[in-house]
A and B are shown apart, each in its own frame.
Chain A
Amino acid sequence: MEMETSQDERALIEVRDVHRIFRQGEVEVHALRGVDLDVEQGEFSVLAGPSGSGKTTLLNVIGCLDQPTEGTIDIGGARVSDFDTKEAAKFRLQNIGFVFQAYNLIPVLSAYENAEFVLMLKGVPVRERRQVVMDLLKEVGLEGMEDRRPHELSGGQQQRVAVVRALAGHPSVVFADEPTANLDSDASESLLDLMWRLNEHHGVSFLFSSHDPAVIERCRRVIRLDSGIVVADERDKEEGR
């Protein structure tokens, strides 16, 4: 389930003619209508668009949280759109990090345990887990807060823990769905700084889904969606600060 390492000529993520239709009784909702997209290793990109444009749906199908109704998705050479739930879970564990909108930590675990969770599932030895998690917590400015439960942390601190958790398993890509939606502007700015820095230092790709202008300004590439299709793809943007 590991991604192929040699990917000459191939993008990290290849999305081809992806459709996603939700059926509720006799009503069909076409959330995605034939999306084609490539994402390269190390990108810092955002899926932007108004509510209902399909950005979260696209993030879900690319992130193996959902399956497309039609079309194919390859990540690192693996045809993830054909995975069953078990294969998808294994793939997510090994290759993908997630940061969700809010309340995305396990409330009964401490900050350290939340960050450690994915490494435990991967079977990483205790000592190595501790090293990785403590280094990352220090890097995101949460040193000394490792024993706090989520309700003892601010929203921004919780999102930092989520970022640590997403990066701890050394994924090739992190999907972040509206990561700043529940944060004030200072906390948003600080979180984006952190993610930018981690992208620079660790080389890990970030793909956001957001309609927050602050996020859109900071990303090097903006993929705009409307009514389930890509309507614009702005590459090689300068960082907005």
Chain B
Amino acid sequence: MLTRLAWRNLWRNRSRTLIVTSAISFSFGLMLFMFGLVHDAMEKMGDNVVEAVGGHVLIHGEGYWELPTGGQTVERSTELREHLESMPQVEAVSSRVLAVGLLGTAANSEAVLVQGIDPEDDRAFIDLSKRLIEGELLSDDRRRPIVVAAAEAERLGLEIGDRVVVTASDVEGDVTRGLFFVDGILESTPGEAGEGRAYATLEDMQETLGYGSGVTQIGIRLVDDDTREAVAQQLREHWEGEGLEVMTWSDAVPEFEALIEMRQGIIWVYLMILVFIVVLGITNTFMMAVMERIRELGLLSALGLEPRRIGALVMLETVMVAAMGMGGGLLLGLTGHAWISRHGYNLGATIDHEFDVSGISMDMVAHSQIHWPMWAIGAAVVFVFICLAALYPAYRATQQAPSEAMRFYE
């Protein structure tokens, strides 16, 4: 009976109920829509940074990240890879030789980071073939192939098949040189696979720098980014004393993690302000609904309805409004998500340059991804706040002495 009474009470003032329900729908829908955008942006930022630094977790010889000198190789890399490949959290592993050096022709030279990679292994981290604008990607049919960015190719006047010399420190720290042939040219974007980088095969770089089977870096791609700290810690403990440094991408680019946290914080503050405004509106509405029904609530009390059940009646009406509003909000949120997922929205449409953080370029086209735990938490927060908003009106309803309330009948 209370449920029936609550439901019918809601529709006594149809326009007021519709306004409150719409306000909840709009706010909740907007919140879910924002969640979709933010989650997609975070995922893309995460992917960008993982591409740029070479993995969720990186393993180097001790001291390499602070001051790479050429001799800091990863010891027992074969055993290490076997161990990594047996871990369920690990999606892919790639061994690399990294060398900061010069890419030179007879006429000129450019400073670059040359990465010796296994193209098959590295595809799980960054698919260079998608950025290839000319030539091949480290093909087997070319001797000592190298892929360079378009910017360097232009400045050095390089074309496919041209010879270039890579000058870098070898395993002993001495300067050494190696001859390579341009196999492909990549599009130029700051960071990641673009400007300032060149790619050769792992074997050619090991041979050029005298590493034998040694590597400079092992990049680890994880199934879930959230496990990166746990995996790194597990590896540190397992390989302690082996002269390795294990770091996550957030250790490698701490300012990036700070940026992500700041963006998340701003979004939450914005959403909390939105929820607060809705909560004020709901408190006001239900307060009005209680005050204009004082004599009726007094009547219910006079008939024997206990105060707590009178409060429950008001709360029940609130829950019904919340359910309707949040149902509408879910539909709005899903509609917004579907539209933005399909069409995307270019956040960078108003700026005429690439947007990058710490040299890592950002994808400025926003899409949407549903992160159900985030949506569920958001829904729970909104629901709890709406119920809290009705607590005071419900309390006031329980405090009506029937004789006082019944005076309205006189």
Chain B residue numbers with a CB within 8 Å of A165 are 303
Contacts of A101 in B (CB 8 A): 409-410
Q: Is the CB of A98 within 8 A of B12?
A: no
Binary flags per residue of B368-410, CB closer than 8 Å to A gives 1, else 0 = 0000000000000000000000000000000001110010011
Interface hits, B262-304 → A, CB 8 Å:
295-296, 299-304
> Quick one: given A65-B402, A65-B406, A66-B403, are A106 and B300 in contact (CB under 8 Å)?
yes
Asked if residues B5 and A89 are in contact (CB atoms below 8 Å), the reply is no
Q: How far is the CA of A165 from the CA of B409 in the complex (A)?
A: 18
**Contacts known (A65-B402, A102-B409, A108-B8); A89 close to B299, Cβ less than 8 A:** no
B399 to A, closest residue via Cβ: A85
Tell me, yes or no, whether B258 is within 8 Å of chain A by CB: no
Partner of B304, one of A56, A89, A102: A89
**Total interface residues in chain A, CB < 8 Å:** 32
A157 within 8 Å of B (CB atoms)? no
Q: Are B307 and A89 in contact (CB under 8 A)?
A: yes
- What is the interface of chain B mostly: helix, strand, loop, or mixed? helix
Verify if B259 is at the interface (C-beta below 8 Å from A). Answer: no
- B80 lies within 8 A of chain A by Cβ: no
Interface string of A112-145 (1 = CB under 8 A from B): 0100111011100000000000000000000000
Given contacts A85-B307, A98-B303, contact A103 B409 (CB under 8 A): yes
Structural contact, B401 and A121, CB atoms closer than 8 A: no
In the bound complex, residues from chain B placing their C-beta under 8 Å from that of A109 are 4-5, 8
Chain B residue nearest to A108 (CB atoms) is B8
How many positions in chain B have a CB within 8 Å of any CB in the partner chain? 24
CB-nearest residue of chain B to A93: B304
Residue pair B409, A118 in contact (C-beta under 8 Å): no
- B-chain residues with CB within 8 Å of residue A90 when the two chains form the complex: 304, 306
Contact check, A66 vs B401: say whether CB atoms are below 8 A apart: yes
A60 within 8 A of B: yes
Find out whether the CB atom of B409 lies under 8 angstroms from the CB atom of A98: no
CA distance in complex: A177, B12 (Å): 27
Q: Does A107 touch B at the CB level, under 8 Å?
A: yes
Residues in chain B near residue A116, CB distance under 8 A: 1
> In angstroms, how far is the closest chain A Cβ from the Cβ of B265?
46
B406 touches A89 (CB 8 A): no
Proximity string of chain A (157-180) to chain B, C-beta cutoff 8 Å, 1 when within and 0 when not: 000000001000000000001100
Q: A-B pairs with CB below 8 Å: how many?
A: 74
- Cβ of A86 within 8 Å of any chain B Cβ, yes or no, is yes
The reply to whether A92 and B403 contact each other, CB–CB distance below 8 Å, is no
Contact B403 A100 (CB under 8 A): no
Is B305 an interface position by the 8 A CB rule? yes
Chain B residue at smallest Cβ distance from A91? B304
Cβ of B9 within 8 Å of any chain A Cβ, yes or no, is: yes
Look across to chain A and name the residue whose beta carbon is closest to the beta carbon of B408: A103
CA distance A78 to B4 in the complex (A): 34
A49 and B366 CA atoms in complex are apart in Å by: 78
In the bound complex, do residue A100 and residue B409 qualify as a contact, i.e. CB atoms below 8 Å apart?
yes
Q: In the complex, A178 Cα to B406 Cα: how many Å? A: 13
In the complex formed, the residue of A with least CB distance to B12 is A108
B12 contacts which of A94, A103, A107, A122 (Cβ < 8 Å)? A107
When distances are taken between beta carbons in the complex, the residues of chain A under 8 Å from B295 are 103
**Cβ-neighbour of B409 out of A93, A94, A104 (below 8 A):** A104
A94 CA to B305 CA in the complex, in Å? Answer: 11
Of B300, B305, B403, most A-chain CB atoms within 10 Å: B403
Given the known inter-chain contacts A56-B410, A65-B402, please indicate yes or no for A121 contacting B302, CB distance below 8 A: no
Contacts of A102 in B (CB 8 A): 409
Which A positions have Cβ atoms within 8 angstroms of B?
A: 56, 60, 63, 65-66, 85-86, 89-90, 92-94, 98, 100-104, 106-109, 113, 116-118, 120-122, 165, 177-178
Q: List 29 A-B contacts (CB under 8 A).
A: A60-B406, A63-B302, A65-B401, A66-B401, A66-B402, A66-B403, A86-B308, A89-B304, A89-B306, A90-B304, A92-B302, A93-B304, A93-B305, A103-B295, A104-B409, A106-B5, A106-B300, A108-B5, A109-B4, A113-B1, A116-B1, A117-B1, A117-B303, A120-B1, A121-B303, A121-B304, A177-B406, A177-B409, A178-B410
